[in-house]
Chains A and B, each alone.
Chain A
Amino acid sequence: MKKLALLATFLLLPEALTTNANAAEFELSGKVGIEERYFYQQPQQSGQSGQSNLSIFAEPELYWSWNDDSDTVLFKPYLRADQSDTQRSHGDIRELVWTHVGNDWELRTGINKMYWGVTEFQHLVDVINQTDGVEDIDGEDKLGQQMINLSLVRDWGIIDFIVMPGFRERTFAGKQGRLRAGLVVNTDRAQYQASAGQQHIDYAIRWATSVGDFDIGSSWFHGTNRDPILTVTPKLANQEQVLNQENSSSIAQYELTPYYELMDQASVDVQATIGDWLWKVEGIYRNSDSDNYWASQVGFEYTRVGIFETAIDIGYLMEYGKDSRGEKFGVVAQNDLFIGSRLAFNDMQSTEILLGGGIDLDHNAHSLIVEASRRLGDSYKLSIDMRWFSSDSSKDVLTSISQDDHLQITLEKYF
């Protein structure tokens, strides 16, 4: 059942391709890149590698279209090789999706990615794809999700029906990896509430429309919660024996194991685009056996174009996150304020600088990021990212990475 969507793609694709072979078009594009992370301080957690880490990655994109673009297949595999973290060295099929376009409907079958929501600092509403946690800490990298998605275009909006046969586990940094909690997450010991485990079939429905200045979306999801509950668990006996020989500290006897609950989530997201202002609201209500809560992220983005008689645009962003669970470990924003600024130089090289920070209003914890990027020549892109984390409360998720401030330089070649 897990590979149903994938199977359907493979079964239907050759037939469609052969019947229209002369009309099929193929295109190859994609990117390869190299990334260096430099951490200013020595590792905080035991087992972590040193201050410098090199990583390479590739993401080719293969695209076929036929039937006058009514049928397309997109295949986007991803591969990363990391110098120190064996968990971060990983591969994924980001997309392998066959799309058939009808007159007022679309059917997307295979492994796909789908984004929901409007806010910038936290993505509460966006629950279809699992987070690829080893890629980056911003949660914006996602694993491909197997699905069958029927999308209907109506006068009153676009409605999407999604059936997801199979679940993707979140990826976590390994023992050698930085930017992780004190204990390592053992993904091999993941447990599920659903008796079918990873084979549980999830469902979602979404309606989205634009009315004047408003873009409105509302969705409902039933299935396995993408956010696991992490439990401190003693390591299994055979591992323990090995460990006893090399390390006698008690903390080394434990690890984190993920537990994936079933959940229902209802959500709404609205953006009002009025003049230079974008007003944004995301709200969710989530219900599972262990918890039921609501959370919201509200804010704005205001842009001034052509500052100081140049072509430069400056954007100011502010968002506030609230979570009814309060100061519980793992809650990203229970009473947090996010502030940011985006500079777009609008030059030939598309130079951009983004500054952002998050402040926890309940206790002393904050993070700061600077992201700058620029195209080099026609096919290279250079990005420089800097991140600082600080926390003096053990309740905050930032505590375990407060010594992981780093500089990241990425060079990508596009083809």
Chain B
Amino acid sequence: MKCSTNCYQSTVSTSFAIGLSFSVLLILVTAFSSNAATPEEEGLTISKEAKLRDLGWQDSSANMLMKLRNKQGQESVREISIKSLEVANDGDKGLTIFNKPRDVKGTAFLSFSHTVGADDQWLYLPALKRVKRISSRNKSGPFMGSEFSFEDLSSFEIPKYTYKYLGDERINDLNSFMVEQDPVDKNSGYTRRVVWIDKSEYRIQKIDFYDRKNSLLKTLTYTNYKQFLSKYWRAMTMSMINHQNGKSTDLVWDNYKFRVGLSDKDFNKNSLKRAH
């Protein structure tokens, strides 16, 4: 990580926050291991637990409404359906199909995300009936003109970040851990993100994203959590606010279904062309 004045300040405030919540930290340390854990180990442990609690969902399908709002309050809506397949020991496979706006109806996006290295991504253009492999380096670019970037929508994998436990805070009326996650990939649009994870169910409540200059860029808030298969939690509303340009995007999820019987055969170039 490049260290500037900003970086120094953030380190100072981090240690300050840790100092304040020392007693909580102490309890946590004893809870997780008998040895004194560093904030880095602590952050990793919390993130691993969050990932562990979300393993085994196998496959899912859902519909998503993407509501884009500009500074003047003008709204534009995208209608998208998403199929996901959990891949053991690697990133998930995903098929994203656009239904609205109508001029991109039938356009579909296939991605094989990887924990290490570049993702594989293909785009299907229905007007030409053409499947095109695209560069996955564009992690920081906006997804469909929204305030979500491609990396904001990709699956969370442990090796993608380094971690640091920052302390505790009450958020959305829930006692939560604050964990700093620093992207390993140099093509990420962020220097770091601060994630609030609630202590009872290890669900992400809020994320602050810091841009390459380490200033606060966006805040993502997760609300309306619903539990599926008595285990897996999904936020039905995800609200992203861009503090620098005043724009915002809400994702409203609907018709979430788990274990619908998807397999590898639903995630290839043929299924991409079938997308409807």
Contacts and interface: CB of A to CB of B under 8 A. Distances in A.
Interface in A360-415: 375, 378-379, 381, 412, 414-415
A280 to B, nearest CB: 10
A313 B101 contact: no
A311 B141 contact: yes
A35 interface: no
Given A303-B135, A378-B100, A414-B103, 18 more contacts: A31-B103, A63-B276, A69-B274, A103-B265, A104-B265, A106-B274, A118-B132, A271-B133, A276-B137, A303-B138, A311-B142, A346-B145, A348-B70, A349-B145, A350-B104, A350-B145, A375-B101, A379-B102
Nearest to A413: B102
B76 A378 contact: yes
A35 to B, nearest CB: 15
A275 B137 contact: yes
A210 interface: yes
Interface residues of B, number: 35
A325 B36 CA distance: 76
Contact of A278 (B118, B135, B141): B135
Contacts of A219: none
Contact of B135 (A69, A99, A275, A346): A275
Listed from nearest, the 4 A-B pairs whose CB atoms lie closest are A414-B102, A115-B130, A346-B142, A348-B145
Interface string B35-79: 000000000000000000000000000000000101000001100
Given A113-B129, A275-B137, A311-B142, A153 B265 contact: yes
A412 B103 CA distance: 9
Contact of B101 (A104, A115, A215, A378): A378
Contacts of B7: none
A278 B137 CA distance: 11
Contacts of A326: none
A351 to B, nearest CB: 9
Interface of B: 68, 70, 76-77, 100-105, 118, 120, 128-138, 140-142, 144-145, 189, 265, 268-270, 274, 276
30 contacts: A65-B276, A103-B265, A115-B128, A115-B130, A115-B131, A118-B132, A151-B270, A153-B268, A158-B268, A158-B269, A215-B133, A273-B134, A278-B134, A303-B137, A303-B138, A305-B137, A306-B140, A306-B189, A311-B141, A311-B142, A313-B138, A346-B142, A346-B145, A348-B145, A350-B144, A375-B103, A378-B76, A378-B77, A378-B101, A414-B102
Contacts of A378: 76-77, 100-102
B50 to A, nearest CB: 29
B56 to A, nearest CB: 24
Contact of A348 (B76, B265, B268): B76
Contacts of B118: 275
Interface string A30-42: 0100000000000
Interface string A153-164: 100001000000
Given A63-B276, A113-B129, A153-B265, A158 B138 contact: no
A118 B2 CA distance: 39
Interface in A81-106: 99, 101, 103-104, 106
A306 B101 CA distance: 23
Interface string A277-307: 1100000000000000000000000010110
Contacts of A240: none
Interface string A331-347: 00000000000000011
Nearest to A349: B145
Which of A29, A101, A378 is the most central at the interface, judged by chain B CB atoms within 10 Å of its CB?
A: A378
A208 interface: yes
A114 interface: yes
Nearest to B68: A348
A273 B133 CA distance: 7
Contacts of B102: 29, 31, 378-379, 414-415
Contacts of B274: 69, 72, 99, 101, 106
Contacts of B189: 306
B45 to A, nearest CB: 34
A139 B118 CA distance: 34
B269 A414 contact: no
A215 B272 CA distance: 15
Which of A210, A215, A273 is the most central at the interface, judged by chain B CB atoms within 10 Å of its CB?
A: A273
A234 B68 CA distance: 62
B142 A278 contact: no
Interface in A168-227: 208, 210, 215
Contacts of B68: 348
Contacts of B77: 378
Which of B77, B104, B129 is the most central at the interface, judged by chain A CB atoms within 10 Å of its CB?
A: B129
A105 to B, nearest CB: 9
Contacts of A255: none
Given A104-B265, A378-B100, A379-B101, A140 B128 contact: yes
Contacts of B141: 305-306, 311, 313, 346
A143 to B, nearest CB: 13
Interface in A116-173: 118, 140, 151, 153, 158
Contacts of A305: 137-138, 140-141
A153 B142 contact: no
Contacts of B129: 113-115
A348 B144 CA distance: 7
Nearest to A378: B101
A208 to B, nearest CB: 7
Contacts of A348: 68, 70, 76, 145
B117 to A, nearest CB: 10
A276 B135 CA distance: 6
A101 B77 CA distance: 32
A366 B104 CA distance: 32
Contacts of A276: 135, 137
B268 A347 contact: no
